[in-house]
Structure 1
């Protein structure tokens, strides 16, 4: 029975909504057709820092090979001839082993130095840690530093100490990656040694040049 007001029915058969299983099927069908937000918009890819960033300028690690000579020397109680100019040449290897971030570098240095005292040719290996600033990552070419360590003589003048206390004060310029991973390094400073088991002493002003390799 249909109750009407005028010519329009209040209740009609078309207004009856679907319920139960039929309604659930329609809901899941619509959800399946609707694209998900994750599929339509993939998450953005984050880009890491590149080598051109200022924070990554310079060398993360480097090895320097240097050849040098003393330009001025003072020698005390070393040998019988009492000569001041007793050095011949020096060869050095410097390897950067760490840093204090945005401030200084820590390196280990090995110097092989040849001398001529009396009729002997003393040869010394000097091992010492070196602190330099600013750090290599800053990209600034000039650097300053100092170090202190031990010297061991493989050959020595008669009745002279085979052990010494060595210390250095230095300044230089390094230019990384001029050709691939190879660059140039220039350095000058003071290298002094105090004999531990005798009274001898040697002080000298030196200059050196060499190559610096980054890796």
Structure 2
């Protein structure tokens, strides 16, 4: 089965490609098929993932899969939530490439999160991933998987790997931040890995893969 990933993120393609390796699925990005990214106007991860999957399926006529993910901090009422990637107001420098822009946005997001948690004792948080798969844009039975990876927000970044909030997210069960984990360990334990494991089971059962 050829499955369209409703994202143009090469890292996400590689990560999900490995997670779905047990199934006979060819995963391709929507960008490689000329499909622009969808709007994400909703307040929940599930609604945004569904909107992205429907957009990709409608544009390509193929089954589609989409995820929406982010960081939810207990003491902030679940923020940054669906706004995780654009939590801090940020204007890119003229001529700045996509990767440089992402790194600068990440740094601004982390700084704002630390500012809003200044003096807050409860640092509990979770990385959250909603993963949705559709056979067609009007599929009445979308497959929905959800993963949570529990941790705590540190007072300062630690670790050189990962992206986004990884340097601030300490995972007690692993004794380190996400940014300090080897890629293979992160992929085995992450919120996306938890959701993907659920999705594998759902696809086998509902789609007979």
For normalisation by structure 1, the TM-score amounts to 0.28
More strand by share: 1
Structure showing greater radius of gyration is 1
For normalisation by structure 2, the TM-score amounts to 0.29
